[in-house]
A and B are shown apart, each in its own frame.
Chain A
Amino acid sequence: MFSLAVKSVKHNPKRLVLTAVAVALGVALASATFTLTNALSGGFHQLFDEIYSGTDVIVEEAPSDTDEDGDQFAAGESVFSKADLAAVQEVDGVASAVGGIQVMGAVLAKDFEPTGDLMAAGGAPSQLFNWAGDPRIDQSTLVEGRGPGADDEMVLDLDAAPRLGYAIGDQVSVATETGVTELELVGLVRFGESNSLQGATLGYMTEATAAELSGSEGYQNINVIVADGADKDEVAEAVSTVIPEGTRAITGEDKAAEQAEQLDELLQYIDIFAIAFALIALFVGSYIIVNTFRIIVTQRTREFGLLRAIGVSGRQLRTMILLEAVVIAVVASTAGILVGYLGALGLSALVEALSGNIFGTVTLPIDALLWGYALGALVTLVAALMPAIHASTISPMEALRESATESKKPLRLRNIVGGALAFLGVLAIVVGLYMDVPRPYVYVGAGAMVLIIGVTLLAAQVLVPLAYGLKSLLTRIFRVDGKLAANNIRREPRRSANTAAALMIGVMLLALVSTFTESLKSVVTDQFASSDADFFVLSTQGAIPAGAIETLEAQDGVDFVTTLSVDPAQLDGVAYSVATIDPETATAAFDYNTDPELTDLDGGVFIDPVIQELGIEVGDDLTLEGSEGSVTLEVTGLYLNEGDANFWVDEAAGAQLFGDFEILQAMVVLDDAVDPAAAQDQLAEALAADYPLVVLQAPDELAQFANQFIDLLLGVISAMLGAALIIAVLGVANTLLLSVTERTREIGLLRAVGVRRRSVRRMIRIESLVMAIFGTVLGMILGVGLGVALVKALEEFGFSSVAIPWTWLGIYVVLAIIAGVVAAMSPARRAAKLDILEAIAFDG
């Protein structure tokens, strides 16, 4: 049976090419992502190894639950005093121990001009440390000049210096929380073996300068080199006994492994994201496979009948078709994996050219192979199952029939099943969105899937009257070509419906995402528009320096500046976020969604829906534990949006909890008489000198900026869905091609009675267009419907209104028309090219 299956695939590969391409595209998506994340993981493993390879033991703040997924590059708290360092140096087996200080700040390019653009100073961060002079601790080796000896000197890594425009002897501008400091560049260093910094800037200065710029006395960590022959683990153990509570000693190897593990966990999410999109693409692809196999089974009815007559059992026949599916799956998956790998190679080369080498060696990971084959085989087999079962029921008598035609089964069963599935799907979505159930996304996801299948089944029924209705319209516009096209769609409603449904899924997801993002944009725009603040103050790197706020407050025309900080604190041992604001100025500058107004905070605390669900009510007392102390507050009101911060307290409570809190965001309100446009330049200039990284944004600029990000998100998702859409268009083309083959005789007859080539072409094109537009419209209805339901369900996250993305919907329709025309090109050409005599003699 296997050899028969292989020969059958080999004998007529053309009809399977598009099927294989569909599978390959989906697999390629997964394969490319796996290859890239694997390379990324490799690159960072190497980086972590280099960072921690020199240091034998690292003493640092113990990771807590609150900041486990914190920024890899952020500087920690200064938890070690000089006495702690001295104690570590005394431990047996410690050859040397050096305190480490990381400075929060950025090295500015030589020609840096503050433009007020949020993106200008962004990009890879600067890493600034104190210089120990020992390569094992610094992880860097001097390659030119000398190390920083005086307090007004520094070194940079050998790639960063030319990139930022500095040469040895230049004065380097370093922007920190305390302002801009000028340091003389005295040397260049190479990080590790190959200076692979993933695009970051690395700099070192003296300990005194680092301490001054970071504004702290102590050290964030202590790097230990053990004596010759001492066991690192034992030294780490011994060091643990002398360091403060809440800190730990860990060997360099363990630290590197730990960091790599954390990163891999993060990359895993990217993989899952990619698999989700690959599954969508393959789900769409499965529609093509179902259609292809269905048509192939129909076309080979006589062959199967003959096999049944000479003694092949129905079961063997089914096995044979499934084996054919396996052959296709293996070929297509292999191609997909390779294409994905090559795509990943190309992409990594592109990224390397644009922003430096962040990837390790790009190799084909075993994950890509396993997932590629698994996904490809699974989808192909599942999709081929129904047609295979259908083939196994072909009676040997079919071999003796003259022509091969699909038996006309009524659509009733299909409609009943479809209606039931659609109903169940909607029910599951409603339950998931509006009822209080665990894991609501499972209900929504499964519901959407079931709804899609249900609608696909029902679409066949809709297509019949639709084609009937369209018939007179198409006949009027295109005359006989239109009439024939309408008849053809009606003739095989199942096939047409499946084809349209493949497109429907892709368009549905696009419409869903664009409805969601459009609503998100309108929420963002509304929020900024309702603000009374004239400017938002943001920092492009880290927190906003307190000095910057003072500078702004001192300017003429500024009425007041209000700040917002968000810090972690614990309630009953569980970590939550706490926002610290000044109620009076905050309310005056921004329309917070609270009950009552924030001005009624009254030294108490407002709680958000998450905390309300814990059963805490207005009037209750609760105790928060911050980094600096704990405070008991009365709940005086509710913060109504979910997802911003769990608790809202005033600055007095914030100071008790967190001491010096870092300012995340500030708002400037001007005197009434002042023109904001003129004031913006004045304020920006005042900030430029000392705080070049602080940026002023008018509310509409900020809304625009936020919306750019949302558009970017929509773009990324659309691109990922692109694979699914290409597959859907291939599906339309494939169905038409196969149906042209099937209708060879009929088309020959049409040509024989005088229908012109052009008319045949147009007939096919109209069929294609009707299917494409039908699928697109169905997809838009479903997508917008699901999007609206989703937005409604997220009301408590601040989604106040639903926005329908009319522009996008219009674009989708235009794209559908183009897709319809493109999909019809090859089938139409083939149909028009048919030789009349051969076509009539054609033995199906």
Chain B
Amino acid sequence: MTTTVTLAASMRGGTKDYGHGDAAVRALDGIDVDIAAAEFTAIMGPSGSGKSTLLHTLAGLDRLTAGESWIGEQQISSLSEDKITQVRRDKIGFVFQAFNLIPSLTARENITLPLDISGRDIDPAWFDEIIGILGLADRLTHLPAELSGGQQQRVAVARALVARPELIFADEPSGNLDSRSGAELLGFMRRAVKEFGQTIAMVTHDPSAASYADRVLFLADGRIVDEMREPTADRVLDRMKQMGH
């Protein structure tokens, strides 16, 4: 693993158990991971490999059973719920697979929601730039119900970008989209990393989605089993096949 670059997030000995006694399931089994800044990292693995749990615990949405994790320099695994909420608010952006938007707010209001919550000012130039790249200029006054699935996900990406977070977590962002819209969305995310130096960590089970990343981590049974730099869809697919997927 490279250690010369700045780290946006990291985890040491991350362990996560669900349930108790006989029903206990170990989702993460002593994971060590570093997410480098200004990189597009994909996390891949078959269902049940713990890739979503890794994302949730890294992002402070869920707590580790054992081990430590950091957002930048900030150790978050021992913080109170209120403090973690603040870290999420100030440093992290999210794009989920579905239900990314508040149904009662327009696209514009959804995009500026993180800034409104933390009381920060909107940088109009930055806002316009994002909207321009994502092609949402004529959709800003629409409610989520009036947008297509692809447009909804682009609004979610815009929301994640607008507050300039240190790190964006994306959970199967293209999972509900047709292949063309999905490719478009992933292209935008890659541009954000290349042009603005944004850090993105993305969970996916789709090899072609992973091919947009700079680096792919492979998870199986709660452990990181491999990683790949400069991936292509074919190489990722081959690696997945080896893992018995």
Instruction: Enumerate chain B residues within 8 angstroms of A843, measured Cβ to Cβ.
Output: 98-99
B102 touches A397 (CB 8 A): no
B105 touches A400 (CB 8 A): no
Whole-angstrom distance from the CB of A787 to the nearest CB of chain B? 48
B81 touches A314 (CB 8 A): yes
A307 touches B102 (CB 8 A): yes
Interface set, chain B 49-83, CB cutoff 8 A to A: 52, 56, 61-62, 81-82
A311 touches B56 (CB 8 A): no
- Is A7 an interface residue, CB under 8 A from the partner? yes
Instruction: Enumerate chain A residues within 8 angstroms of B135, measured Cβ to Cβ.
Output: none
For the complex, give the distance between the alpha carbons of A497 and B161 in Å: 47
Interface set, chain B 82-103, CB cutoff 8 A to A: 82, 85-86, 88-90, 92-94, 96, 98-103
For the complex, give the distance between the alpha carbons of A399 and B102 in Å: 11
- Is A258 an interface residue, CB under 8 A from the partner? no
B96 touches A400 (CB 8 A): yes
For the complex, give the distance between the alpha carbons of A8 and B114 in Å: 17
Whole-angstrom distance from the CB of A154 to the nearest CB of chain B? 75
Contact of B117 among A11, A312, A314, A396 (CB under 8 A): A312
- Is B2 an interface residue, CB under 8 A from the partner? no
Whole-angstrom distance from the CB of A389 to the nearest CB of chain B? 15
A310 touches B104 (CB 8 A): no
Instruction: Enumerate chain A residues within 8 angstroms of B193, measured Cβ to Cβ.
Output: none
Contact of A310 among B62, B94, B98 (CB under 8 A): B94
B99 touches A7 (CB 8 A): no
- Mark A299-324 against chain B: 1 for CB-CB distance below 8 A, else 0: 00011001111111110100000000
Question: Please, which residue of chain B has its CB at the minimum distance from the CB of A396?
Answer: B61
- Is A756 an interface residue, CB under 8 A from the partner? no
Whole-angstrom distance from the CB of B176 to the nearest CB of chain A? 10
B102 touches A316 (CB 8 A): no
Whole-angstrom distance from the CB of A746 to the nearest CB of chain B? 20
Question: Please, which residue of chain A has its CB at the minimum distance from the CB of B60?
Answer: A396
- Is A194 an interface residue, CB under 8 A from the partner? no
Interface centre among A308, A309, A316, A395 (most CB of B within 10 A): A309
Instruction: Enumerate chain A residues within 8 angstroms of B171, measured Cβ to Cβ.
Output: 400
- Is B47 an interface residue, CB under 8 A from the partner? no
Number of residue pairs spanning A and B whose beta carbons lie under 8 angstroms apart: 72
Instruction: Enumerate chain B residues within 8 angstroms of A11, measured Cβ to Cβ.
Output: 103-104, 143
Instruction: Enumerate chain B residues within 8 angstroms of A303, measured Cβ to Cβ.
Output: 99, 102-103
For the complex, give the distance between the alpha carbons of A396 and B171 in Å: 14
A400 touches B102 (CB 8 A): no
- Is B118 an interface residue, CB under 8 A from the partner? yes
Instruction: Enumerate chain A residues within 8 angstroms of B31, measured Cβ to Cβ.
Output: none
Q: A306-B96, A309-B61 are in contact. Are A400 and B56 (CB under 8 A)?
A: yes
By size class, the interface of chain A is 20 to 34
A306 touches B100 (CB 8 A): yes
- Is A12 an interface residue, CB under 8 A from the partner? yes
A311 touches B105 (CB 8 A): no
- Is A370 an interface residue, CB under 8 A from the partner? no
- Is A386 an interface residue, CB under 8 A from the partner? no
Instruction: Enumerate chain B residues within 8 angstroms of A309, measured Cβ to Cβ.
Output: 61, 88, 94, 96
Contact of A311 among B52, B109, B117 (CB under 8 A): B117
For the complex, give the distance between the alpha carbons of A11 and B145 in Å: 11
Interface centre among B99, B113, B118, B159 (most CB of A within 10 A): B99
- Is A4 an interface residue, CB under 8 A from the partner? yes
- Is A10 an interface residue, CB under 8 A from the partner? yes
Q: A7-B104, A309-B94, A311-B88 are in contact. Are A302 and B114 (CB under 8 A)?
A: no
A311 touches B86 (CB 8 A): yes
Instruction: Enumerate chain B residues within 8 angstroms of A7, measured Cβ to Cβ.
Output: 104-105, 109
Instruction: Enumerate chain A residues within 8 angstroms of B113, measured Cβ to Cβ.
Output: 310
Instruction: Enumerate chain B residues within 8 angstroms of A12, measured Cβ to Cβ.
Output: 103-104
Interface set, chain A 1-28, CB cutoff 8 A to B: 4, 7-8, 10-12
Instruction: Enumerate chain A residues within 8 angstroms of B114, measured Cβ to Cβ.
Output: 310-311
Contact of B89 among A311, A395, A400 (CB under 8 A): A311
For the complex, give the distance between the alpha carbons of A302 and B85 in Å: 17
Q: How many residues of B contact A (CB 8 A)?
A: 31
Interface set, chain B 108-163, CB cutoff 8 A to A: 109, 113-114, 117-118, 143, 159
Whole-angstrom distance from the CB of B173 to the nearest CB of chain A? 13
For the complex, give the distance between the alpha carbons of A12 and B117 in Å: 22
Question: Please, which residue of chain B has its CB at the minimum distance from the CB of A309?
Answer: B94
For the complex, give the distance between the alpha carbons of A314 and B159 in Å: 21
- Mark A400-438 against chain B: 1 for CB-CB distance below 8 A, else 0: 100000000000000000000000000000000000000
Question: Please, which residue of chain A has its CB at the minimum distance from the CB of B160?
Answer: A310
Instruction: Enumerate chain A residues within 8 angstroms of B62, measured Cβ to Cβ.
Output: 395, 397
- Mark A112-133 against chain B: 1 for CB-CB distance below 8 A, else 0: 0000000000000000000000
Instruction: Enumerate chain A residues within 8 angstroms of B56, measured Cβ to Cβ.
Output: 397, 400
B105 touches A399 (CB 8 A): no
B90 touches A399 (CB 8 A): no
Whole-angstrom distance from the CB of B234 to the nearest CB of chain A? 31
For the complex, give the distance between the alpha carbons of A7 and B109 in Å: 11
A308 touches B85 (CB 8 A): yes
Instruction: Enumerate chain A residues within 8 angstroms of B109, measured Cβ to Cβ.
Output: 7
For the complex, give the distance between the alpha carbons of A843 and B99 in Å: 9
Interface centre among A302, A306, A314, A397 (most CB of B within 10 A): A306
Question: Please, which residue of chain B has its CB at the minimum distance from the CB of A844?
Answer: B99
Whole-angstrom distance from the CB of A56 to the nearest CB of chain B? 68
Instruction: Enumerate chain B residues within 8 angstroms of A10, measured Cβ to Cβ.
Output: 104
Instruction: Enumerate chain B residues within 8 angstroms of A397, measured Cβ to Cβ.
Output: 56, 61-62
Whole-angstrom distance from the CB of A373 to the nearest CB of chain B? 25
Instruction: Enumerate chain B residues within 8 angstroms of A306, measured Cβ to Cβ.
Output: 96, 99-102
Instruction: Enumerate chain A residues within 8 angstroms of B52, measured Cβ to Cβ.
Output: 400
A302 touches B102 (CB 8 A): no
Interface centre among A312, A314, A316 (most CB of B within 10 A): A312
Q: A11-B104, A303-B102 are in contact. Are A313 and B85 (CB under 8 A)?
A: yes
For the complex, give the distance between the alpha carbons of A464 and B126 in Å: 57
Interface centre among B82, B86, B103 (most CB of A within 10 A): B103
Question: Please, which residue of chain A has its CB at the minimum distance from the CB of B171?
Answer: A400
Question: Please, which residue of chain A has its CB at the minimum distance from the CB of B99?
Answer: A302
For the complex, give the distance between the alpha carbons of A313 and B98 in Å: 22
Question: Please, which residue of chain B has its CB at the minimum distance from the CB of A6?
Answer: B104
Whole-angstrom distance from the CB of A307 to the nearest CB of chain B? 7
B104 touches A399 (CB 8 A): no
Q: A8-B104, A12-B104 are in contact. Are A310 and B117 (CB under 8 A)?
A: yes
B82 touches A313 (CB 8 A): yes
A316 touches B117 (CB 8 A): yes
Instruction: Enumerate chain B residues within 8 angstroms of A400, measured Cβ to Cβ.
Output: 52, 56, 61, 96, 171
A contacts, CB < 8 Å to B: 4, 7-8, 10-12, 302-303, 306-314, 316, 395-397, 399-400, 843
The 28 listed contacts between A and B (C-beta, < 8 Å) are: A7-B104, A7-B109, A8-B102, A11-B103, A11-B104, A12-B104, A302-B99, A303-B99, A303-B103, A306-B96, A306-B102, A307-B102, A308-B85, A309-B88, A309-B94, A309-B96, A310-B159, A311-B89, A312-B85, A313-B82, A313-B86, A314-B82, A395-B62, A396-B61, A396-B88, A397-B61, A400-B61, A400-B96
Contacts A7-B104, A306-B100, A397-B61 supplied; 15 other A-B pairs, CB < 8 Å: A4-B104, A307-B102, A308-B85, A309-B61, A309-B96, A310-B113, A311-B88, A311-B90, A312-B85, A312-B117, A313-B82, A396-B61, A400-B61, A843-B98, A843-B99
B contacts, CB < 8 Å to A: 52, 56, 61-62, 81-82, 85-86, 88-90, 92-94, 96, 98-105, 109, 113-114, 117-118, 143, 159, 171
Closest 5 CB pairs of A and B: A311-B89, A11-B104, A8-B104, A7-B104, A311-B88
